[in-house]
Amino acid sequence: MAETNRVWVRTIALDTAIYGKSKSTNQRSIPGSSFDDTSSSHHHWGWAKGRIISDPGDKSHLSGGQLEYTEEDEIKVYIQDAESAHDRNEVKLMGSAVYSGDLVMDNVYGDDHGIDNDEDDASMNDEYFSDEEGENNIEASDKYPDDLIILTHLHEPSVVYCLRKRYARDKIYTSTGPMLIALNPFKHCQELYSEKIMKKYWDRGENRMLGIAGESSSKSDENDPASEEGNNLPPHVYGIADDSFRKMMATLEESSSNNSSSGGRRRRPASASSSSSTLASSACNQSILVSGESGAGKTVTTKFIMQYLATLS
């Protein structure tokens, strides 16, 4: 990702810099609520996006994608956030905001073309922050990755912002390494859990077990877009269930192979205690931890996992 002057500023830090204290009039937004109300009050979720602006002759404080300021340095930030009460305002912060975590770097989503270019004022272009796809906008699927590990700067605002934008596109599943983040859509998503979708993850799991993922399947179906799609599936609870099941079966097969290769000599019947210890040593259990707040969808997620495992086995 390219180096950028875009930043996230904690709303409390903005209020303190302007009013001398945190204002309680800014109401925190409720997930699923509309922002198109005509009231004068502004909603926020704790952060506002903007960009660092500097006077001519000022030295660069960006190095390796990190902010480098002393606590006494003055930082000028231009807020570009329609949901913030400070939108289109220039705010002066102290360098201590960097050390306290109130000012953090933003990510550059997409292919980085035409963004933060010294030859133009692209970082002031509102189209970058637009969710509409068009000639001048980055494709939505590229802007917000399936895996948060791809993000250059991984912190609270970048994670929440990415999840929020994906959620608005009905992408309720997002990976973060081996873990899966699931957001409750608060609506029926039958197409997301159809037998057709289930079969895609089953086929991918089979290909991985046989070691033919990717190249061999694409050779057999070069003109089949479904083949390419099946090798690069988005995050899903079915993927977690499939991985767990395949790892369990692979360990079982390995354990069975080792036992069969130990020889065909007849042995005396083992006692009950030794038999149980043998089973314990060759166990290949897999666990899937489903956690979250009340109403997050843990029970429904568990049902989808059990449905997939029952179908797969």
Query: Taking a C-beta distance cutoff of 8 angstroms, is the pair 148, 109 a contact?
Result: no
Q: What is the model's pLDDT at position 304?
A: 96
- CA 202, 205, 207 angle in degrees (round to 5)? 110
Q: What is the model's pLDDT at position 68?
A: 85
3-state helix, strand, coil in the chain (%, to 5): 40, 15, 50
- CA 281, 282, 286 angle in degrees (round to 5)? 105
Average per-residue pLDDT for the chain: 75
Query: Taking a C-beta distance cutoff of 8 angstroms, is the pair 57, 33 a contact?
Result: no
The tens digit of pLDDT for each residue in 153-182 reads 999 999 999 999 999 999 999 999 999 999
The Cα–Cα gap between 93 and 173 comes to: 36
Q: What is the model's pLDDT at position 63?
A: 64
Q: What is the model's pLDDT at position 110?
A: 63
Q: How confident is the model at residue 42 (pLDDT cuts 50, 70, 90)?
A: low
The Cα–Cα gap between 9 and 77 comes to: 9
Q: How confident is the model at residue 261 (pLDDT cuts 50, 70, 90)?
A: low
Q: Residue 173 gets which letter from DSSP? A: E
Q: For residue 216, how many other CB atoms are within 10 A of its CB? A: 11
Q: What is the model's pLDDT at position 20?
A: 85
Q: What is the model's pLDDT at position 288?
A: 94
The tens digit of pLDDT for each residue in 208-239 reads 888 754 444 444 444 444 444 556 899 999 99
Higher per-residue pLDDT: 260 or 116: 260
Burial class (CB in 10 A: 0-12, 13-18, 19+), 227: middle
The Cα–Cα gap between 180 and 76 comes to: 37
Q: What is the model's pLDDT at position 214?
A: 46
- Which residue in 142, 149, 143 sits closest to 176, CA to CA? 149
56-79 mean pLDDT: 78
- On the question of pLDDT at 258 being above 80, the answer is no
The Cα–Cα gap between 78 and 64 comes to: 22
Cα pseudo-dihedral 199, 205, 211, 215, rounded to 10: 50
Q: For residue 14, how many other CB atoms are within 10 A of its CB? A: 29
- On the question of pLDDT at 3 being above 90, the answer is no
Higher per-residue pLDDT: 299 or 222: 299
Q: What percent of the chain has pLDDT over 90?
A: 43
The Cα–Cα gap between 308 and 313 comes to: 9
Q: How confident is the model at residue 283 (pLDDT cuts 50, 70, 90)?
A: low
Cα distances from 228 to residues 55, 109, 195, 219, 313, in angstroms, run 50, 24, 19, 10, 26
The tens digit of pLDDT for each residue in 101-158 reads 999 999 887 654 434 333 333 333 444 344 444 444 445 445 789 999 999 899 999 9
Q: How confident is the model at residue 60 (pLDDT cuts 50, 70, 90)?
A: low
Higher per-residue pLDDT: 31 or 231: 231
Higher per-residue pLDDT: 253 or 137: 253
Query: Taking the model in full, what pTM does it have?
Result: 0.74
Burial class (CB in 10 A: 0-12, 13-18, 19+), 83: middle
Q: Are strands 27-28 and 43-44 parallel, antiparallel or unpaired?
A: parallel
